Each structure stands twice: as structure tokens, then as C-alpha cells.
Amino acid sequence: MRPLYLKSLRGDTEIYAARTTKYSDSLMISVCDSDLVDRTLRQGEVVISLSREYFQEEVIEKEQAADLLNKCSIANLVGEKIVAMAISMGLAKEASVKWICGIPFLMIFKFYHR
């Protein structure tokens, strides 16, 4: 299997389903590859529902996704394209990726000191 960060280099149009939540001074994003919307991933006790109602508050393109990844404090990411983007941006290491039903899942928490 090729490393995820290499998959982000292919020329496909990249469309994502995204939800943003603001609280205090933080921005939380939940983003998944658009082809995963309305799927439920089940593996043992782990169940992730990628419902349109939750994940698809809006449909965004690659540039918007990169902007959200830069701005957010917390990110919940599901899918090869969005996880590969986060890795290629240096926001996470491939070792941090969890796989559920063959689909990559990544959570990122950014800590800031004031």
C-alpha cells in the first residue's frame, strides 16, 4: 500500500463534506471525502456514521479544506484524500491514522499556549 501522503498528489478533483463548529476561541471541523457520505463504518465495537445530516453541512473543495485544516483547533477526518492532505501539510504522522473497514480515520488536537 502506498503511503497516504502520496495519494494526495494525484490529479482527481477533491470534494469534501464538512461541518464546522465554533466554541470559545476554538474551531472544530469534521471533514470526510465526499464519496463516504451516508456510509456507516462498523468494525467490532467501533461504529462511525458518516451521515449527510452531520458531515455535510457544506460541500467544499481542496483549497477550502486546506484552509480549515490550518485554522482549526480540533479536526475529525475520515477518508484517504482528507487524511492524506493533513499528513502532507505536516499536521499529523501516518502512524497516527486509525483504519476502520479499510478507511483511514484521524483526529487532530492542536494545543496552544497563551
Query: Where do the domains of the chain lie, and which CATH numbers do they carry?
Result: 4-109 (3.30.1860.10)
The pTM (predicted TM-score) of the whole model is 0.86
State the pLDDT at residue 91.
97
Burial 89-105, CB ≥16 within 10 A → b, else e: eebbeeeebeeeeebbb
Mean pLDDT of 60-88: 97
pLDDT at 40 exceeding the cut of 80:
yes
Tell me phi and psi for residue 86, to 5 degrees.
-60, -40
pLDDT at 8 exceeding the cut of 60:
no
Mean pLDDT of 20-34: 93
pLDDT at 42 exceeding the cut of 70:
yes
| Residue 98 backbone class (left: φ over 0; alpha: ψ -120 to 50; beta: rest) | beta
Q: What is the distance of C-alpha 57 from the center of its chain?
A: 14
pLDDT at 11 exceeding the cut of 90:
no
Half-sphere exposure of 17 (CA within 13 A, CB side): 18
